Amino acid sequence: MLGIMLFFTVAVAPTVFKVLPQEWSSKYVRAFFPKYYIFLGLFTCLAAFLVEGYVNTILLVFCAALFLLSLVVLTPAINRAADSGNKKYFGLLHGSSVIINLLQFVIFIYVLLYE
C-alpha cells in the first residue's frame, strides 16, 4: 500500500498533469481515484485482519475508513467543486485529501515498523 501511494504521488500524478492536457488529466484522475481508494481500502481491511497487535488492527481499520470516506464523501465533493469552478472550496477539499493521504502513509509506516 505504501508503494502504491508513493508511486502515484511521486510518479503518476506529476506525469499525468505535465504530459496530458488539463481536460484529459482531469478525466484520468476522476477515473483513477475510485479504483485507488477501493483497492487500497480493501487491502487495508485484509491487512487489518492479518496484522498482529490490537493497536495495529485499529490503525488499519481507521485507514480503511479514511479510504471509504475519501471515496464516498471527499472525491464527489472535490469533483463538484471543480465542476462549479469554486477554487477555494476545491483547494480546501483537495488539501484535506492530501492530509488524509499523508496520515495514512504515516500510519502504514508505523504499522510496518512496529508490527
Q: What is the pLDDT of residue 114?
A: 85
Cα–Cα dist 59/23, whole Å: 37
Residue 68 has pLDDT above 90, yes or no: yes
The string of pLDDT tens digits covering residues 35-46 is 999 999 999 999
DSSP calls for 65-109: HHHHHIIIIIHHHHHHHHHHT-HHHHHHHHHHHHHHHHHHHHHHH
What integer is the mean pLDDT of 66-79? 97
User: Which tens digit of pLDDT belongs to each residue from 3-13?
Assistant: 999 999 999 99
Q: Where are the domains of the chain?
A: 2-113
Residue position matching grid coordinates 483547494: 91
Percent of the chain with pLDDT over 90: 93
